[in-house]
Amino acid sequence: MRDTGLDQALQTFFMESRELLIAMEESLLALESAPDDTEAISAIFRAAHTIKGSGGMFGLDGIVAFTHVVENVLDRVRNGEVPVNGELIALLLCCRDHIGTLVEQLAADPDAKPDMETEANGVMLLNQLKAHSSTGQPPVAAVAPAPAKTQIVTQPPLDDGTVASDNWHISLRFARDVLRNGMDPLAFIRYLGNMGKIVHIAVLPDALPFAPDMDAESCYLGFEIDFHCDGIDKAAIEMVFEFVREDCSLRILPPHSRIEEYVELINDLPEDKIRLGELLINCGSLTKKELDEALRLQALRVESGQEAAPAETDAVSQLGDILVEQGMVQPELVDAALGKQKVAKENKVQESKLIRIQADKLDQLINLVGEIVITGAAVSLLAQRSSDSALQEATSTLSRLVEEIRDGALQLRMVQIGETFNRFNRVVRDVSKELNKDITLVIGGAETELDKSVVEKIGDPLMHLVRNSMDHGIEQTELRLQRGKPAKGTVHLNAYHESGSIVVEVGDDGGGLNRARIFAKALEKGLVTANQTLSDQEVYGLIFEAGFSTAEAVTNLSGRGVGMDVVRRNIEALRGTVEIDSREGVGTTVKIRLPLTLAIIDGFLMGVGSASYVVPLDMVMECVELSEAERYATRDSHYINLRGTVLPFIRLRDHFREQGKASRYEKIVVVQYGGQQAGLVVDELMGEFQAVIKPMGKFFSNLKGVSGSTILASGEVALVLEVSELIQRAVSLESHSISKV
């Protein structure tokens, strides 16, 4: 039976690996446009190294082996030995995808082996990586043992704190069982020679026993190595011995290690680096492995009783002593780091802390908050009926707290849309190469927040719209130049808030939509009649009909008329709308309007006969009462003059065929959505209301103008209205009324 704790740790590894792969892809795309971006190179290397190291902890050999080769190539890129070009970026992106495939297959079944296709793809990529892995340097000559009892004197520091050599000095002692563990010590030394030049090497045979006591499967030798390589750091040398790190003792003394230079680096580090180990690692004088070893020694001393369990300040001091004692860093550096740490702690502001929460737990919280909102409304209603002032005051306070809890819970689900937008950088890059077009992606409004459930479901519609813009919208380079446009086309993704909704735009600066061609195609398919008069918006909206396409040729991306109808259907399932704005020869923009959240809204409650209806409060502009004369005057029309402006309206009584008793004075609730206004004629205005939206069943899926339902304080059900559909209905009725005049 698999250990539960291990399963949870493994799931954390998969989740973090996905995040690292996303960051890796973003950095690779950034590196393609800026090949000299050292920060991007380092970020890519760190992502690969972290995945490899974490994978090794769980024994995921396939991920470790493949990522190790990728890491070697990235290390050479980081050292300037391999140039960054389009071919390398394409290869590394494919490697990133392959690592992602391995992660997902193991996430589905941790005990499964890669399928044949994945394995073959991995072999192909490894063969391509070999072309970038070879250093082109001759192999290091075989290491000859030194005479017995050879004494090696390490280079002592000079008085000014400088090592008297231009070489790195590596002191290496292998454990007795290293051969039994399948490791060849000489292989690591040869690999070290591939990174630079081994100037001198001496073997220390002092640990060799007498011949009768010698075990042929044990290692007794140590090595002292002088190594020269420009542009390399301590961590890179240590990484050579990574797979044997648990079976050896390693000390690395850097060349020209002027203490003053390290001290200056420590002082220049940002204030958020306040731990002693972090300070020394970031200035390059200590590696992560060395720090882990020092921490292990510190823990062993406490456990064995050699030292008492220290307070936080004493623990840091003890750690510094161990680092100096083990020859990992110089005492002056520890003193400088401790001084920096003290200053940083004094100036450190309170940092925000993040925790990971499973999505299903968050959904459960939102559901419970919704039930609290409904119950709170019922309690408030009972308090009002009781005429108990103390109870009413208590329920008023309760309602305010419930509202704050609701807003806080909903805020937990809000995420920035930028993460979704950034994933399209890769899409645009790959598709533009496939289409042989030069296209760039411009992102705006990445910080705009909306409900996590909406973000998850908007990805596929955006993918189709972006690919359509690139395939149908952006012209070939020659045609763009003929039209006086830049050779490089642009696709833009933008998001912003408007009238309580979020608007997501997908646009391009391509050729735009051909109105005449769309109308002709619609006429051919019987969607319109020859004498029918349609606005530009209505004509462009025809492309969302099933099977509709004006493409002259079918490509791998589009042209079959499949997809745009699915886009509209998916967006409408999110209670959203989609519209197109296009200018022929200039470009096209698709606007998607979505609700900020799908769970709980501030609503405005209205009554019509015996029924109740809710609309989002932020869409309500004003309320107007119709006099009996105005009601009589508009009985055969669907618009009124509202302060000099024609306002179309729709009577909810007629729309929903309500049979209850009508009020003598009707009211118009003026609502706005997408820049359009219309009126909803109702009998009663019932005020603000926190609506917990419940989805409608399949039986009511075709009910127009309704997006969901909610439960009132009285226990009755009210319908949540789809304002966008009702506005379109009102505009249509207004046009029909005016045409009769």
Residues 327-336: pLDDT tens digits?
Answer: 677 676 777 7
Q: Name the pLDDT band for 92 (thresholds 50, 70, 90).
A: very high
Q: What's the pLDDT at 591?
A: 92
- 396 with 338, same domain: the answer is no
Q: Name the pLDDT band for 402 (thresholds 50, 70, 90).
A: confident
Q: What's the pLDDT at 715?
A: 80
Segment 504-524, tens digit of pLDDT: 999 999 989 888 888 888 888
Segment 562-578, tens digit of pLDDT: 468 888 888 887 878 88
- 568 with 626, same domain: the answer is no
pLDDT at residue 137 greater than cutoff 70 = no
Q: What's the pLDDT at 351?
A: 42
Q: Name the pLDDT band for 392 (thresholds 50, 70, 90).
A: confident
Contact 716, 609 (CB under 8 A): no
**Three-class SS state of 134:** coil
- 591 with 614, same domain: the answer is no
Segment 352-365, tens digit of pLDDT: 456 677 777 887 88
Q: Name the pLDDT band for 221 (thresholds 50, 70, 90).
A: confident
Q: Residue range 548-573: average pLDDT?
A: 65
Residue 189 lies in a domain: yes
pLDDT at residue 492 greater than cutoff 90 = yes
What share of the chain in percent tops pLDDT 70?
81
Fill in the DSSP letter of residue 474: S
Q: Name the pLDDT band for 102 (thresholds 50, 70, 90).
A: very high
Last residue of one domain, picked from the residues 108, 133, 158: 133
Hey, what are 592's tokens? 């998607």
Q: What's the pLDDT at 733?
A: 74
Own/partner pairs for 274-278, CB < 8 Å, 24+ apart? 274/340, 274/341, 274/344, 274/345, 274/348, 275/341, 276/316, 276/319, 276/320, 276/334, 276/337, 276/338, 276/341, 277/319
Q: Name the pLDDT band for 149 (thresholds 50, 70, 90).
A: very low
- 312 with 370, same domain: the answer is no
Q: What's the pLDDT at 147?
A: 33
- 340 with 372, same domain: the answer is no
- Other C-beta atoms closer than 10 Å to the C-beta of 555 total 12
Rg value, the chain, Cα: 35
What residues make up the domain containing 73?
Answer: 4-133
- 445 with 555, same domain: the answer is yes
Most confident range, picked from 291-300, 485-494, 706-715: 485-494
Segment 184-215, tens digit of pLDDT: 888 888 888 888 888 888 787 777 888 888 88
Fill in the DSSP letter of residue 229: -
Please report, for the domain that includes residue 610, its CATH number. 2.30.30.40
Segment 152-179, tens digit of pLDDT: 333 333 344 444 456 777 888 888 888 8
- 669 with 686, same domain: the answer is yes
Q: What's the pLDDT at 250?
A: 83
- Other C-beta atoms closer than 10 Å to the C-beta of 155 total 13
3-state helix, strand, coil in the chain (%, to 5): 50, 20, 30
- Give the chain's largest Cα–Cα span: 120
Q: Name the pLDDT band for 493 (thresholds 50, 70, 90).
A: very high
Type of residue numbered 528: V
Please report, for the domain that includes residue 87, its CATH number. 1.20.120.160
Q: Name the pLDDT band for 494 (thresholds 50, 70, 90).
A: very high
Residue 156 lies in a domain: no
Most confident range, picked from 10-19, 47-56, 477-486, 526-535: 477-486
Residue 678 lies in a domain: yes
The residue among 233, 283, 234 whose CA lies nearest residue 259 is 283
Residue 337 lies in a domain: yes
Q: What's the pLDDT at 332?
A: 67
- 438 with 571, same domain: the answer is yes
Please report which residue ranges of 413-527 form alpha helices under DSSP H: 418-422, 424-435, 452-468, 477-482, 515-524
- 21 with 86, same domain: the answer is yes
- 404 with 425, same domain: the answer is no
Segment 413-462, tens digit of pLDDT: 888 898 889 889 988 988 998 889 999 999 999 998 888 888 888 888 99
Q: What's the pLDDT at 559?
A: 46
- In this predicted model, which residue has the larger pLDDT, 213 or 97? 97
Last residue of one domain, picked from the residues 391, 413, 435: 413
- Considering its fold, how many domains does the chain have in total? 5
Residue 187 lies in a domain: yes
Q: What's the pLDDT at 182?
A: 76
pLDDT at residue 141 greater than cutoff 60 = no
Cβ-proximal residues to 447 (8 Å cutoff; 6+ apart), any chain: 416, 418
End-to-end CA distance of the chain: 80
Q: What's the pLDDT at 314?
A: 55
**Three-class SS state of 477:** helix
Type of residue numbered 597: T
| Mean per-residue pLDDT over the chain, rounded | 79
Report residue 41: phi and psi, to 5°.
-60, -45
Please report, for the domain that includes residue 423, its CATH number. 3.30.565.10
Q: What's the pLDDT at 363?
A: 79
Residue 145 lies in a domain: no
Distance CA 518, CA 548 (A): 9
Distance CA 260, CA 582 (A): 64
Q: Nearest 5 degrees, angle CA 286-CA 287-CA 288?
A: 130
pLDDT at residue 255 greater than cutoff 50 = yes
Type of residue numbered 431: V
Q: What's the pLDDT at 680?
A: 92
- Other C-beta atoms closer than 10 Å to the C-beta of 192 total 22
Report residue 93: phi and psi, to 5°.
-65, -40
Q: Please give the C-alpha separations between residue 191 and each of 134, 194, 224, 232, 284, in angstroms, as whole numbers.
A: 11, 5, 16, 15, 22
Report residue 200: phi and psi, to 5°.
-155, 145
Please report, for the domain that includes residue 396, its CATH number. 1.10.287
What share of the chain in percent tops pLDDT 90?
12
- 405 with 422, same domain: the answer is no
- 625 with 609, same domain: the answer is yes
Q: Name the pLDDT band for 740 (thresholds 50, 70, 90).
A: low
Residue 354 lies in a domain: no
Own/partner pairs for 430-437, CB < 8 Å, 24+ apart? 431/467, 431/470, 431/471, 431/557, 432/470, 434/556, 434/557, 435/470, 435/471, 435/557, 436/476, 437/470, 437/474, 437/476, 437/477, 437/489
Residue 147 lies in a domain: no
Q: Which of 45-59, 138-152, 580-594 has the lowest mean pLDDT?
A: 138-152
